Structure formats: C-alpha cells, structure tokens
Amino acid sequence: MVEIPFFGGGVSFNPTTDIPSLAGKVILVTGGNSGLGKQAILDLVKHSPARIWLAARNAENARNTVAEITSRCPDAAPLIKTLDLDLTSFESIKAAAGRVVAESDRLDILMLNAGIMMAPAGQTKEGYEIQFGTNHVGHAFLTKLLLEPLLLPTASRQEDVRVVVVSSEGHRLPTMTGIPYDKVKTDMKDSYSVTRYGQSKLANVWFAREMARRYPQIKTVSVHPGAVNTNLATPFRESNWFLNTFSAPVMMLMTPVEIGVKNQLWAATGQPKESVVSGEYYVPVGKAGGSALSKDDKLAAELWEWTEKELEGQSI
C-alpha cells in the first residue's frame, strides 16, 4: 500500500447496531463483488432496504457474491440485484444506469466504492489513463446519469440522500502537480503508477467536494477506509516480484474489511444525519481530514468543469 497511517479519535460506529432501518431505501454499490463493496452490502442488507444494486464488472463473480451473502443472510436473497458495470466503458455505464432508472423510482445511497490501484499503464475504452478513467471519470459519468432521474427527485421528497466516494490517503501523492489534464487521455506511462493512482484519488475528493457545493440537497462526502486488506493492489504486487514475494507479512498487518468498511458505512448511514457534513473528506471513523490541496475549491470546480466538458452530450 502507499501509506499505512494511524488515525486516532473519530466516532464509535457498530454497523449492527448503528445503521438505522433502511426500509424503503434503494442503494447502489459499485465494486460490490469483493472487498469493501461486498462487506458494505452484507452489512447494509441486514437493515432491510427495499433493494441493493450490486454493481460489478464480472457477472459470474457478482452472482457468486450474492450466493455467499445470502448463505450468511438468507433474508437478503430478494433484496439484492446484480448490475453489470464496467467503469472503463461509457457504453457499459450507460446500460447500467439505464437499467437502474428503468427498474427503480428512487435512489437513496450511491456508494462509489469500485476502484483500481497502481495498475500497469493502460487506457479505458474512451482513452483515459486507466486509473483516472476508472476511479474518477467512470464514477462521475455514472453519477451524472443517475442524478436527474433518481438522486434529485428522491432528495426533493425530503429524503436523506447520500453519495459516498471511496478515495484514500493516496490523494496526498500528487501534491506538486495536481492533475495534468493535458495527459489524462494518454496512458501516462512516463509517470509512476503510484502517481497516477494518487491523481485519481485526488479527483475523487475534489469531485465529492464540488458536488456537495452544487447540489446541497444531496449529502456527498469522500472517505478513506484505512489500510485495508483487500485485493485492490493485486495487479501492482503481481507486476513486481519483490512486492509479490514480501507483501504477505504486510497484508497480515492490515485492517480486515469488517473494520475497514465502517467509515463508508458511517458516511452512508450515520445518525444524526447532521453529523455527516457534505463536502468533507473523512478518515476512519468519521474524522474530517484531507490535504490542503484536496480542500482547494477552485481546483475542485476546475475538475468538475473539465469532467462536464468530457461528458458533454452523453446520456442514457
């Protein structure tokens, strides 16, 4: 992992007892087939939502995840629907959003959880650097497509609507360069993978901050889950024999997903709802943080405007 920080303080949060009833609510979790996404769905479904969309790129893995969750929580079976979603493809994002809009009349929690970390140089189908395109552009496009038909109408009924963007302390990495917009439509192979990852995570924080400003009726926050033992960094480890050989002891010291998921669950459901401040970046659990660069409102607005221009004319 890039960084294994220690965060003291914060709030006490037990998903079993502190997540309120979710009766009637519709939830969508990207990257729901493994790691933090799977754990989030397992914890959320125990509180009786109307539906949880489990969005994942691999349909078979998604079905297997649903089977695993329902084996542990049999009442979950009718509540979870799988959703094919490849964040590297605008066509896939449009199809996924179109299905959600067609089959749901509301959306209460959008958890933008999926992501890749320190991947080898590559590009999405639309040509964006693979980490920036997946972690930021794909999620921004999905949010845009769900905003007018579902998120805003749900909020207009005085419902507690939240968008939770899973970022990381990796957002601190590009402190000197920010985001080079003239290069993000290349594979950026001349930059370190860790730098490319940091740019995508900085974009996550800025996106949440600016969305909170533009749409105050929706509570939007970004979160760092901590140094969690997931498969997120697997491609990076497998590309480096040294890391692949010696990473196992480090992984054993990392936070298990059952603990790491608490910050995003608190952000999505924490009560009283005023305790979660829209636009903030939170470290575990519920503690406001972030770098000075991540709090730059001018740069956050610049990212939003650049992204809107990139997505101009795109619709379901």
Residues annotated as part of the active site: 167, 197, 201
Which of 82, 106, 109, 85 is closest to 95 using CA atoms?
85
> Is 146 in contact with 102 (CB distance < 8 Å)?
no
What's the DSSP call for residue 231? S
CA distance 87 to 84: 10
Grouping H, G, I as helix, E, B as strand and the rest as coil, residue 98 is: helix
Joined together, the tokens standing for residue 1 give: 């992992």
Token pair 């009924």: residue: 157
Q: How many CB atoms lie within 10 A of CB 299?
A: 17
In whole angstroms, give the CA distance from residue 311 to residue 144: 9
Token pair listed for 56: 């994942």
Q: How far is CA 306 from the centre of its chain?
A: 20
Strands 287-288 and 281-283: antiparallel
Give the list of residues 6+ apart from residue 42 with CB closer than 8 angstroms, or none. Answer: 69, 72, 73, 76
Question: Nearest CA to 82 among 94, 98, 99, 106?
Answer: 99
Which tokens belong to 235? 């491609």
In terms of Cβ atoms closer than 10 Å to its own Cβ (0-12, 13-18, 19+), residue 250 is middle
